[in-house]
Amino acid sequence: MKGIIVNIRNGENHSFGKGIKKSQNVLISMLEELLSGKDAVEKKRILEDEYGMRMTAELEGRIQIMCNLSENIEERSIKRERLNAVRRMIKANITKQQILSMGYTEAEYKKAESVLYANV
């Protein structure tokens, strides 16, 4: 089996007004656009205008899949960070009631608690 690692920068980081330039590698640049926080319509426009891709029904469907993938990745990342925050608060002896009053859910608390105590 062969593998390759491609470093895709955070979608917000390669906005050209923020000092980080578009990648010189066309494939990486396209992937950064596809995995950015932009909506599907904007991504399609960029692929057509900047990369000369002709939008077909098949390509539009694949772009929608990529958009859903990037949203899913972001969602999982947010959930993981919330659980990590709850776990850190439990370790810091913050009470369950205080944690829940900060907007965390009972399910998040229970999951963080079970992960924390499973690793003891």
Tokens at residue 49, please?
A: 């205008």
Residue 64 falls within a domain, yes or no? no
Whole-model pTM over 0.75 = no
Whether 44 is covered by a domain: the verdict is yes
* Shared-domain flag, residues 81 and 115: yes
Q: Name the residue with tokens 């390759």.
A: 4
Same domain, 79 and 48: no
Q: Please give the tally of structural domains in the chain.
A: 2
Give domain status of residue 22, yes or no: yes
Range of the domain at 108: 73-120
43 and 15 assigned to the same domain: yes
Report which of 14, 80, 85 is spatially closest to residue 50, judged by C-alpha positions: 14
| 94 to 4, 20, 90, 91, 97: CA distances (angstroms) | 43, 40, 6, 8, 8
What is residue 88's predicted lDDT score, i.e. its pLDDT? Answer: 95
In a domain, 67, yes or no: no
pLDDT in tens, 86-102: 999 999 999 999 999 99
Question: Is residue 16's pLDDT more than 90?
Answer: no
